[in-house]
Amino acid sequence: MNKSTKTYVLKLYVAGNTPNSVRALKTLKNILDQEFQGVYALKVIDVLKNPQLAEEDKILATPTLSKILPPPVRKIIGDLSDRERVLIGLDLLYEELSEEEKADS
């Protein structure tokens, strides 16, 4: 499946401007710019300013990245510094591996 046909809807929950929150946002924007090329919508939610949103979405730790679309919903907790883990969590790396396997067949 061509990844450009999908739109990813993401929410990043942070707690103010802590070093982990800043690093997570910077890392995520880098990944999105390189891998998603404009086919995403990102909403950054500061749980200190909007605790009800974190409670509604059952966010227990920050930073947390939540992939809403395409299904299934996935959550990645931490500063997102492990790029491979983030790509796997977003189902992007798996698709790339699947496409490579098909190309090899």
- Cα(14)–Cα(93) distance, integer angstroms: 24
Global model pTM greater than 0.85: no
- Sorted by sequence, the CB contacts under 8 Å of residue 92 that are 6+ apart come out as 3, 35, 36
**What's the pLDDT at 14?**
95
Q: Work out how many domains the chain is built from and give that number.
A: 1
Residue 98 has pLDDT above 60, yes or no: no
The encoded tokens of residue 62 equal 């920050």
Q: Which domain holds residue 60?
A: 3-104
CATH number at residue 71: 3.40.30.10
Query: Who wins on pLDDT, 12 or 37?
Result: 12
Query: Who wins on pLDDT, 49 or 97?
Result: 49
